Amino acid sequence: MPLGRSIVKGLVYTIDLSKIADRENPRTVEAPFKLNAYTEPVIVDWGDGTSETMTSGAFPVHTYAEGIGDVFRVTVRNSTGHIPEMSFSNDQNATVVHNLTLAVTSVDHFGGWTGGATVGLANAFRNTANLQFCDPHISGVANSTSFSNVFSGSGISQPLHALNFEFCTQATYFSSCFNGCVNAIGSTPKLPESAIGIISAFQGCVNLDGEITPLPSSITAAGYAFYNCRNLTGNYPSFPSATGSLAFAFYECNKLNGKIPDIADGVTSIQNTFYQNRAASAFPDNIAASITDVRNAFYNCQTLNVSTNAAPELWDTGDYPSISQSSGCFYGLTNLSNYADIPSGWK
């Protein structure tokens, strides 16, 4: 549950040792960070009445005494109550006791109420299967440079649109931020204008049942971004700055509706991008000539399969000289007005 900001500072998260009762060393848990050479001292309050000041090293480990309960709140901060500059990760090597991913049940407070620190939160709570709640005021770490994989594979079950990334204006990468969060609900969170990478950001979030919150126009990389988000509704977002691959970006997003957005110049692949999107209302007006791979791009998009629609003529080598892979691009769309013109290898 959230903590009062007037009395608590730093990163605060809750662990429940009963979640790791069947593991080796079930009362020993590591913290998810490593100190850089230039980091100021870090105070770790383990929540059992003990704390320590770290000046070097990675992934500090603590063993809790028997008979004092199983649930503890851990606080990580510097002397002023903020998160100092350091790297977060729970991808420890085999020599470290790896109980954190199952023990964490909530992230109760992010950063300090005033200010923040330049940190990389990438991977901090990755694969925390029992994590259900996250403090929505993520702006407490407004200077975080990356949120990639922060909650990937976690059990987070709250509405994602409640999480506030809007003021994290130093953050550029959100790749796999919520990848595999099958319990997450609601709409997608608002991202800052600084965001450029959302590859696999919401991949596999099958229970998101709201809309895609408008995305910043700065995004350049979005492949697999909404892969298998089959309950998201509303209109498609556009990616006017995208380059490279948009492959699988909206794969089996069966409830997104409205016109499919234009494909920006510089995009090279829309392989499986709109695969079985069964609520789309129209093909894009413009598809960039930079495209090279359109395999299964509009595969079985049945709401497009009407005689009043015509397939974009991607097979015209004058307009699209670089396409080299095209199998299944218009598979199943037999009612299109120009279906007879589509080369056999494209359908």
Strands 258-259 and 280-282, by their bridges, are parallel
* Predicted pLDDT of residue 2: 44
Nearest to 44 by CA among 239, 36, 35: 35
When comparing pLDDT for 160 and 109, which is higher? Answer: 160
278-311 residues labelled b (16+ CB within 10 A) or e (exposed):
bbbeebbeebbebbbbbbbbbbbbeebbeeebeb
pLDDT for residue 1 is more than 70: no
The encoded tokens of residue 277 equal: 């999107």
Give residue 55's pLDDT band: very low, low, confident or very high (50, 70, 90). Answer: confident
Nearest to 149 by CA among 118, 180, 170, 119: 180
Contact 280, 304 (CB under 8 A): yes
The encoded tokens of residue 29 equal: 């848990």
How far is CA 325 from each of CA 274, 278, 292, rounded to the nearest angstrom?
16, 23, 7
Give residue 85's pLDDT band: very low, low, confident or very high (50, 70, 90). Answer: low
pLDDT for residue 6 is more than 50: no
Q: Which helix (H) or strand (E) holds 100?
A: helix 100-103
Of 125-139, 199-213, 235-249, where does mean pLDDT reach its minimum? 125-139
* Predicted pLDDT of residue 137: 80
Contact 85, 111 (CB under 8 A): no
**Using CA atoms, how far apart are residues 159 and 162, in angstroms rounded to an integer?**
6
Residues in CB range of 278: below 8 A, 6 or more apart: 254, 300, 301, 302, 303
* Predicted pLDDT of residue 119: 65
pTM, rounded to two decimals: 0.91
Give residue 38's pLDDT band: very low, low, confident or very high (50, 70, 90). Answer: low
What SS3 string covers 195-246? CCECCCCCCCCCCCCCECCCCCCCCCECCCCCCCCCCCECECCCCCCCCEEC
* Predicted pLDDT of residue 77: 85
* Residue 12 three-state SS: strand
The encoded tokens of residue 149 equal: 């994989």
pLDDT for residue 309 is more than 70: yes
Nearest to 303 by CA among 258, 270, 341: 258
* Predicted pLDDT of residue 37: 57
Mean pLDDT on 6-22: 83
Of 81-85, 87-91, 181-185, 236-240, where does mean pLDDT reach its minimum? 87-91
Q: How many CB atoms are located within 10 Å of the residue 37 CB?
A: 5
Of 86-90, 313-317, 325-329, where does mean pLDDT reach its minimum? 86-90
* Predicted pLDDT of residue 167: 85
Give residue 95's pLDDT band: very low, low, confident or very high (50, 70, 90). Answer: very low
How far is CA 128 from each of CA 102, 155, 262, 318, rounded to the nearest angstrom?
6, 7, 37, 51
Mean pLDDT of the chain: 89
Q: Checking phi first, is residue 151 left (phi over 0); if not, alpha (psi -120 to 50) or beta?
A: alpha
Mean pLDDT on 129-149: 84
**Using CA atoms, how far apart are residues 201 and 173, in angstroms rounded to an integer?**
9
Contact 159, 165 (CB under 8 A): no
Q: Which helix (H) or strand (E) holds 76?
A: strand 71-77
Of 77-91, 168-182, 252-266, 267-281, where does mean pLDDT reach its minimum? 77-91
